[in-house]
Structure 1
Amino acid sequence: MGSEPLRLVVVEDSMLLREGLVRLFSEAGYVTAGAFGDAADIVDRVRDARADVAVLDVRLPPSFRDEGVRAALALRAALPDLGILVLSQYVETVYARELLAGGGGVGYLLKDRVTSLDDFTDAVRRVSERGTVLDPQVVSRMLVTAPDPVAMLTPRERDVLELMAEGRTNASIAAKLFIGVGAVEKNVRAIFVKLGLEESTNDHRRVIAVLRYLERR
């Protein structure tokens, strides 16, 4: 992308929210190349818009069930380099797992918990860079529903894993838990051993590995 601004497509049935997102992204320096109230022909629309990121509501017309998720999955299959940020009013881990199965470049945020505009626009940037952005409530619910391997973790390892899944760095985890970075690194190593995952020096890749493991369960 170089110095070019991010190009976005917004898919949101509420006209007020849709227009609000367009204004927000404009203020952040992003270009909204398309704003739609439904997901009809979404692959062609996004391709024609030459978008870097698609921001979609989970529930769209006509049934307001899972049209947004199905559209996101279709976009992942057709445009694998596209970043996808899904917005939802509810914690729906089934949808989150489906999206995360494809790897990075995905975000899943709860609308009511998006309270910081800076954090929200940063989430768009992160998914455009193949990062993963998950609402903490979604992470917690996924961990609660995971079986024995996660249950084997100590309380501290579980805390670290939850923060890892949110996309935090070791330094950020240390600050959040008021422990040293060395202690975080020790817990990370233990987590990978217990979950049967290979260690990685790349923070993004390790989060994806953990989330893929949870999705397979």
Structure 2
Amino acid sequence: MRVVIAEDHVLLADGLARLLAAYRHIVVATVHTGPDLITAVNTHRPDVAVVDIRLPPTFTDEGLAAAVTLRRTVGAPVLILSQYVETAYARDLLTAGGATGYLLKDRIARPREFVDALSTVAAGGTVLDPEAVTQMFARDRTRRALASLSDRERQVLHLMAQGRSNAAIAQAIVVTEATVEKHIKAIFTKLDLPPSGDDHRRVRAVLAYLDG
């Protein structure tokens, strides 16, 4: 395969180049920014590009933005590398169409698996890191659970997220504290938050609300 690497960390970029060379693949260009990636791909027309999700100057999503642009303009196969699972970014990449991959950088430590994933993307397939799959499904379950809440339960959870006590919530929505407790119990049930000695269900419910 002919490969373009977009990675601003010199040592990692060099390590990737050496790894690919060991498997008889050719790195035709190594770049450090999103615009340079687009230029390199348009110039060299590689079989696949390996792209760090965070590139200069802001180190947020420049790599992802360039990858999505390449997918939508020239259909270039792209494998995104990320330090952590960022499900929103993974979804953005997948919606750009096939011949895409999203892997954690830890996977590079398993050279054969990494090269196989790269080959799959170059051949037009899709590769998604198992940890990303797990987190995406978990977030989908949370959103479905939140969607099952009644309007009143959602209102109570919103006030819980503001740090209000049961008494304050009762006063705000003009009901008894017993009614608030009933709503909170229903929220815990719908969010699948059984009693636990290790986790504070109220905090976990609020975190689920903020995440969803």
Superposition TM-score tier, normalisation by shorter sequence = 0.5 to 0.7
For 1:172-216, what per-residue CA distance to the aligned partner results, in whole angstroms no more than 9, with x for missing partners?
xxxxxxxxxxxxxxxxxxxxxxxxxxxxxxxxxxxxxxxxxxxxx
Q: In 2, Cα distance between the equivalents of 1:11 and 1:150?
A: 37
**Candidates 129, 137, 141, aligned match of 1:135:** 129
Does the Cα contact within 8 Å between 1:87 and 1:108 map onto a contact in 2?
yes
Q: Which runs of 5+ in 1 are unaligned?
A: 1-5, 152-217
User: Within 5 A, what are the aligned runs for 1:1-217?
Assistant: 6-80=1-75, 82-147=76-141
Root-mean-square deviation (CA), in Å? Answer: 1.8
Structure of greater Rg = 2
When the two structures are aligned, how many residues end up with a matched partner?
Answer: 145
Return the TM-score normalized by structure 1. Answer: 0.63
Q: Distance in 1 between matches of 2:144 and 2:122?
A: 30
Structure 1 distance, partners of 2:110, 2:2, is 21
> For residues 102-122 of structure 1, what are the alpha-carbon distances to aligned partners after superposition, in whole Å with 9 as ceiling and x for unaligned?
232111011124331000011
Q: Which has the higher contact order (CA 8 A, sep 6+)?
A: 1
Q: Counterparts of 1:148 and 1:109 in 2: how far apart (Å)?
A: 23
| TM-score of the two chains, using structure 2 as the length reference | 0.64
Maintained 8 Å contact 2:50/2:81: yes
Provide, for residues 62-114 of structure 1, a one-character-per-residue CA deviation record: whole Å limited to 9, x for no partner.
0001101101111112211x211000011100000011012321110111243
Task: Note closer, same or farther for the CA distance 1:15–1:149 as it changes in structure 2 (3 Å cut).
Answer: closer
Q: Look up the equivalent residue of 2:12 and give its one-letter code.
A: L
**8 Å CA contact 1:43, 1:78 repeated in 2:** no
Deviation, 1:141, is 0.8
What's the secondary structure of 2:109's corresponding residue?
A: coil
Aligned equivalents of 2:37, 2:14: Cα separation in 1 = 18
1:40 Cα deviation from its structure 2 partner: 2.3
Aligned-residue offset at 1:148 = 8.8
Q: Is the 8 A contact 1:143 1:150 kept in 2?
A: no
- Provide Cα deviations, 1:145-164, integer angstroms capped at 9, x if missing partner: 1149988xxxxxxxxxxxxx
The 3-state SS of whatever aligns with 2:84 is coil
Structure 1 residues 17 and 148: alpha-carbon distance in aligned structure 2, compared to 1, 3 A threshold: closer
**Is the partner of 2:24 in helix, strand or coil?**
coil
SS of equivalent residue, structure 1 residue 40: helix
Q: For the Cα contact (< 8 Å) 1:108–1:134, is it kept in 2?
A: yes
* Cα distance in 1 between the residues matched to 2:107 and 2:71: 25
Structure 2's unaligned 5+ residue stretches are 146-212
Structure 1 stretches of at least 4 aligned residues deviating more than 3 Å after TM superposition = 147-151
Alignment partners' CA distance in 2, 1:72 and 1:50: 14
